Structure formats: structure tokens, C-alpha cells
């Protein structure tokens, strides 16, 4: 393994579990016994998370790691 790959693995093993934990905590907000929210609130949260996940996927699939804006009419 190269140094860059070792660094990638080390950081990924720290960051991915942390991201999963945070997503689960956000999911806990869906418990209507503990919280009150509107459908609009929920859609706003889900929309921004889906948008960020799409950007993440684009960064991993592009050749240079940069995001490329997507525009369609």
C-alpha cells in the first residue's frame, strides 16, 4: 500500500462511521413521540442530505475529484 492509500484508509475508517452515526441521529428526529415537525421540515432535511450525497458521488466518480455542476432544462 502506498502512503496516500494508507492515509485514505485511515481517514475513511474514522470519517465514515462518524457520518453513519450522525445520519442515525438525524433519523431519530423522525420519532413523532419526541418531536413535532411538518412534512415540509422533513422534506427540507431529506433534500439537503440527498443533494450532498449526490455531490459526494460525483466527486468520487470524476477523474480529478472536483465537482462538476450539472445543468439540464
Task: State residue 73's pLDDT score.
Answer: 60
pLDDT tens sequence across 19-70: 999 999 999 999 999 999 999 999 999 999 999 999 999 999 976 555 556 6
Cα–Cα distance between 60 and 13 in angstroms, integer?
16
Show me where the domains of the chain are located.
Answer: 3-61
Amino acid at each position: 500500500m502506498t502512503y496516500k492509500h494508507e492515509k485514505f484508509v485511515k481517514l475513511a475508517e474514522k470519517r465514515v462511521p462518524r457520518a453513519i452515526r450522525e445520519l442515525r441521529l438525524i433519523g431519530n428526529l423522525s420519532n413523532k413521540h419526541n418531536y413535532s415537525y411538518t412534512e415540509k421540515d422533513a422534506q427540507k432535511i431529506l433534500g439537503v442530505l440527498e443533494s450532498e450525497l449526490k455531490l459526494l458521488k460525483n466527486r468520487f466518480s470524476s477523474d480529478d475529484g472536483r465537482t462538476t455542476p450539472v445543468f439540464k432544462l
